[in-house]
Amino acid sequence: MNGALVIDKASGMTSHDVVDEVRKRLRTKRVGHGGTLDPDATGILLIGVGKATRFLSYAQASPKRYEAVVQLGSATSTQDASGDVLYQRPVTCDVEHLTKALERFRGPIQQIPPMVSAVRVGGKRLHELARAGQEVERQPRDVTIYELRLIDVDLETSSRATLDVRCSGGTYVRTLAHDLGEALGCGGHLVSLRRTEAAGFTLDEAIAIDDVSEETLRPLVDVVHELPRLDIDAEMAALVANGRPLFVEEPLSKGTVAAVVNEGVLLGVYRSEGNRLVAERVVGR
């Protein structure tokens, strides 16, 4: 049993909870997910089943889109609503000031991972250290915010702003909320988060966990939905089965990673060296 599921994760479930539920429903152990969602967050979680698990890293690296609600006027220990309030300050900015502040977060930026995260420091995950009451120095990480739009705001009563965020894999949206609050001088934290796009899929294509069955499995090729696609003939497909290099007449840009497909079936993922492509991962028999 090999393929992909695009799940609309409900609030209150961890990403691993979703994996466990899929294992039960499909009666198979080889299941993984392509990009963690916090328990309180909702939205798209790509699940790989069988051989698809070997290709999930390509989905994790692809851009993602979120709808994020930011509470201005207070900062928390976890940068979201689950943490303790660190401080509260009056919200004195107007919409123009808020819109201007968003500009500094567009494009390549650096983020310091929050203490409540799965990043490892000294062999331990930060959330484990946080639970033990420890705070350690974290190195900034390079991420990219491709799009950042203000789609709703109420500064008079709730002091909340709703953002549409399209960002690179590994971006912490709650850190974005925290840093935005810092930039405005009033503090801020993430109230709710919904992933609306991931791995090339939108919420319109997602299903609830209760609807998972073998019939809802998508083809294996959907796991690498976002990669450039190279369709090859049966003769070249025989080479891929053995992980052999491929030679093409029209070279891809050097370093390009492409999904190699024959008659709609994923055979592997290859990296271009010009006219020569070398195997990174092969599906195999």
**Other Cβ atoms within 10 Å of 125 Cβ, number:** 14
**Tokens encoding 189:** 């934290």
The residues annotated as belonging to the active site are 38
Q: Quick check: helix, strand or coil at residue 251?
A: coil
Q: Quick check: helix, strand or coil at residue 20?
A: helix
Helix, strand, coil shares of the chain, percent, nearest 5, are 25, 40, 35
Residue whose C-alpha is closest to residue 112's, from 172, 49, 165: 172
Strands 120-121 and 124-125: antiparallel
CA distances from 241 to 48, 78, 105, 268, 275 (A): 21, 47, 44, 8, 19
Q: Which residues are registered as beta bridge partners of 111?
A: 141
Residue whose C-alpha is closest to residue 110's, from 36, 59, 188, 170: 170
The backbone torsions φ and ψ at residue 50, rounded to the nearest 5 degrees and listed phi first, read 65, -130
